[in-house]
Amino acid sequence: MADTKRLFVLDGTAQLYRAHFAMINNPLTTSTGQVTSGIFGFINSLIRLLRDESPDYFAVVFDDREKTSRHHIYPEYKATREKMPDELISQIEPLDRILEALKVPVLCVPGYEADDLMGTLATQAEAKEWDTFLVTGDKDMMQLVSEHTFVYTPGRGRNPAVVYDAGKVEERWGVPPGKMVDLLGLMGDSSDNVPGVQGVGEKTAQKLIAEYGSLEEALDHADEVANKRAREGLQTGRELALLSKKLVTLNCHVPLDVELDHLTLDNLDPGAATEELRLLEIKAVVSDLLRLGEEAVVASFFENIRALFSVKRPVLALSVITVVLIIAVSITQFLPFHKQSDTQDVVNVYLAEQIEYIAYLDENGEFDTNYGTGIEEYFLSEGNF
């Protein structure tokens, strides 16, 4: 059975905010005074995510600056949020240039929030039976968790990342993913200025859902609720409650102009991105970014090798691979991220094993598709790359 494809979707807007404010008391600046803390933190987190998870497909999604349908139905939506500071606004365009140079898939659709794009991608991936990991700390995204969709909260410091499946969502919020919109509709969300029901907090909302099953049923049975404040809130706040549920429900049908299969990192270009970083005087992540590119090249190379081993003519496959390896050795001397001697060692190992290739044939005369894994591990092991 083929391995399940893994799509990672990063909430770029939230990540840039977090990175900027994490260093608000000691910001990074260029010699001309340009603040770059958000860019530095963003790229550093991006490198760590790609290195740790090696996704098959990947995208960064951003909020659009235009007002959304939520603003139209409720003008006070997010009205309590402070205006984005100028020093953060000034980092958006340089970050766009870096990501474009890096050739990372980036999505932003006018009139839609990043959350809606994440929901749309997850829904499309679910139809393909891919696993989707939504990289965000936003509780709104918990409504999307399913058999194939997870919320991936990045680790901080020495704390590992937390992956929310359905069980972990219920453990944290007291309701399954399918009831998160009811929970948030009842309790509201101060960060987005979603009103909810007056007198109903998280615990009360959990109890109402446990007893009545949904926000609508709780409203229909408002007169039966024992808690006086919650009862009165439900009796007088029906319209706001229903509006709140609508505000927190994600739109999973955003019109996208890209196919999921195109959200790859096959053309990753760390070299071009590092030039943009150097212009911003950001040097600390350059070596890690280049290293990421080196690993991507080698991983792609050996993925092709494994694909060749799966064909029904193993001798032909070996011949093709041998030629490719010889060519690879010839060109690596011109690539700054390879050690020629180590590369030659890898090829020597491969050529020595080649004469024993018959031992890797299975009962059908085909190669074991795991053949070559040892070489890859050697190539990527510390000190050999």
The pLDDT of residue 383: 40
Tell me the domain boundaries of the chain. 6-173+254-271, 177-248, 285-380
pLDDT in tens, 200-258: 999 999 999 999 999 999 999 999 999 999 999 999 999 999 999 999 999 999 999 99
pLDDT in tens, 265-310: 999 999 999 999 999 999 888 888 888 765 554 455 445 555 555 5
d(Cα 62, Cα 113) in Å, to the nearest integer? 7
Q: Are 212 and 218 in contact (CB under 8 A)?
A: yes
The pLDDT of residue 304: 53
The pLDDT of residue 3: 83
pLDDT in tens, 57-110: 999 999 988 889 999 999 999 999 888 999 999 999 999 999 999 999 999 999
The pLDDT of residue 288: 85
d(Cα 42, Cα 49) in Å, to the nearest integer? 11
Task: Collect all residues with Cβ–Cβ distance below 8 Å to 184 and sequence separation of at least 6.
Answer: 139, 140, 194, 196, 244, 245, 248
Best CA proximity match to 318, nearest among 366, 364, 376: 366
The pLDDT of residue 39: 96
Task: Collect all residues with Cβ–Cβ distance below 8 Å to 237 and sequence separation of at least 6.
Answer: 195, 197, 198
Q: What is the CATH number of domain 6-173+254-271?
A: 3.40.50.1010
Best CA proximity match to 89, nearest among 39, 29, 32: 39
- For the chain, report the end-to-end CA distance as a whole number of angstroms: 32
d(Cα 115, Cα 363) in Å, to the nearest integer? 50
Instruction: Give residue for tokens 């909020």.
Output: 63
Confidence class for position 342, pLDDT limits 50, 70, 90:
very low
CB contact burial 63-87 (16+ within 10 A = b; e otherwise): bbeeebebeeebeebbeeeeeeeeb
pLDDT higher than threshold 90 for residue 336: no
Cβ-based neighbour number of residue 279 at 10 Å: 13
Read off the tokens for 232.
């009165």
Residues forming a β-bridge with 57 = 7
pLDDT higher than threshold 90 for residue 318: no
d(Cα 16, Cα 45) in Å, to the nearest integer? 10
The pLDDT of residue 315: 56
Taking the alpha carbons of 336, 341, 346, 351 in that order, is the dihedral positive or negative? positive
Tell me the DSSP string of 314-367.
HHHHHHHHHHHHHHHHHHHTT-TT--HHHHHHHHHHHHHHHTTGGGGB-TTS-B
SS3 90: helix
Instruction: Give residue for tokens 């991507």.
Output: 296
pLDDT in tens, 146-202: 999 999 998 776 788 899 999 999 999 999 999 999 999 999 999 999 999 999 999
The pLDDT of residue 238: 97
Give the residue with greater pLDDT, 133 vs 159: 133
Q: Are 74 and 189 in contact (CB under 8 A)?
A: no
The pLDDT of residue 231: 96
Instruction: Give residue for tokens 């474009």.
Output: 100
Task: Work out the mean pLDDT of the chain and round it to a whole number.
Answer: 83
pLDDT higher than threshold 50 for residue 360: no
Could you say which DSSP state residue 31 is in?
A: T
Read off the tokens for 199.
């007198």
**pTM as predicted:** 0.77
Second-level CATH architecture of 177-248 = Orthogonal Bundle (1.10)
d(Cα 20, Cα 27) in Å, to the nearest integer? 8
SS3 134: strand
The pLDDT of residue 324: 63
The pLDDT of residue 291: 81
Stated as kind and residue range, the H or E segment containing 247 is: helix 238-248
The total number of residues written for the chain in this structure: 385
Read off the tokens for 258.
């890209």
The pLDDT of residue 303: 54
What does residue 258 show for φ and ψ, rounded to 5 degrees? -140, 145
d(Cα 172, Cα 164) in Å, to the nearest integer? 9
Confidence class for position 118, pLDDT limits 50, 70, 90:
very high
Tell me the DSSP string of 144-207.
G--SSEEEEE---TTPPPEEE-HHHHHHHHSS-GGGHHHHHHHH-BTTTTB---TT--HHHHHH
Task: Collect all residues with Cβ–Cβ distance below 8 Å to 253 and sequence separation of at least 6.
Answer: 120, 123
